[in-house]
Amino acid sequence: MTTTTVPPRPQVTSPEFVEDPHKYYRIMRDHYPVLRDEASGYYFVSRFEDVARVYKDSEAFSNENYGFQMEPVIGRTVIQMSGREHTINRKLITPALRGNYLEELFPEVDQIARDMVAQFPESGTVDLIEDFTKWFPINVIVKMLDLPKDGLPKFHDWYSSLMAFLANLTNDPEIHEWGMRTQRDYPAYILPIIAERRANPGDDLISRLTQVEIEGEVMSDERIKALIGLLLIAGGETTDKAIASTIKHLMENPDQLEAVRNDRSLVQAAIVENLRYHPPVQIILRTATADVEVSGEVIPAGSVVGVVNGAANRDERRFADPDKFDIFRTDISTQNAFLGSADHIAFALGRHFCIGSLLAKREAETAINLVLDRFPTLEYADGFEPKDVGLFTRGPDKLVVKL
Ligand code: HEM
pLDDT in tens, 53-86: 999 999 999 999 999 999 999 999 999 999 999 9
- The Cα–Cα gap between 310 and 45 comes to 11
Q: How far out from the chain centre does Cα 16 lie?
A: 23
Alpha helices by DSSP H, 278-401:
309-312, 357-374
Ligand 1 centroid–CA 339 distance in Å is 12
Q: Is the CB of 342 under 6 A from ligand 1?
A: no
Q: Among the atoms of ligand 1, which is closest to the Cα of residue 284?
A: 16
Residues 6 or more apart whose CB falls under 8 angstroms from that of 53 comprise 294
State the pTM of this model.
Answer: 0.95
**Domain map (residue ranges) of the chain:** 15-402
Kindly tell me if the per-residue pLDDT of 1 is higher than 60.
no
Ligand 1 centroid–CA 357 distance in Å is 7
Percent share of the chain, pLDDT over 70: 99
Percent share of the chain, pLDDT over 90: 83
Model pLDDT for residues 197-253, shown as the tens digit of each residue: 999 999 899 999 999 887 777 889 999 999 999 998 889 899 999 999 999 999 999
Alpha helices by DSSP H, 253-396:
254-262, 267-277, 309-312, 357-374
**Probe target for ligand 1 pocket from 88, 136, 287, 347, with the most ligand atoms within 8 Å of CB:** 347
Residue 46, helix vs strand vs coil: coil
Q: What is the pLDDT of residue 178?
A: 94
Q: Among the atoms of ligand 1, which is closest to the Cα of residue 80?
A: 40
Q: Is 272 exposed, middle or buried (0-12, 13-18, 19+ CB in 10 A)?
A: buried
Q: What is the mean pLDDT of the chain?
A: 94
Residues 6 or more apart whose CB falls under 8 angstroms from that of 283 comprise 44, 167, 306, 307, 308, 309, 310, 391, 392
- The Cα–Cα gap between 165 and 180 comes to 9
Domain 15-402 superfamily per CATH = Cytochrome P450 (1.10.630.10)
Output 314-318 pairs: Cβ under 8 A, ≥24 positions apart. Answer: 314/22, 314/25, 314/26, 314/277, 315/29, 315/46, 315/47, 315/48, 315/49, 316/29, 317/29, 317/47, 317/48, 317/49, 318/48, 318/49
Kindly tell me if the per-residue pLDDT of 3 is higher than 70.
no
Which residues, listed in sequence order, are joined to residue 388 by a DSSP beta bridge?
396
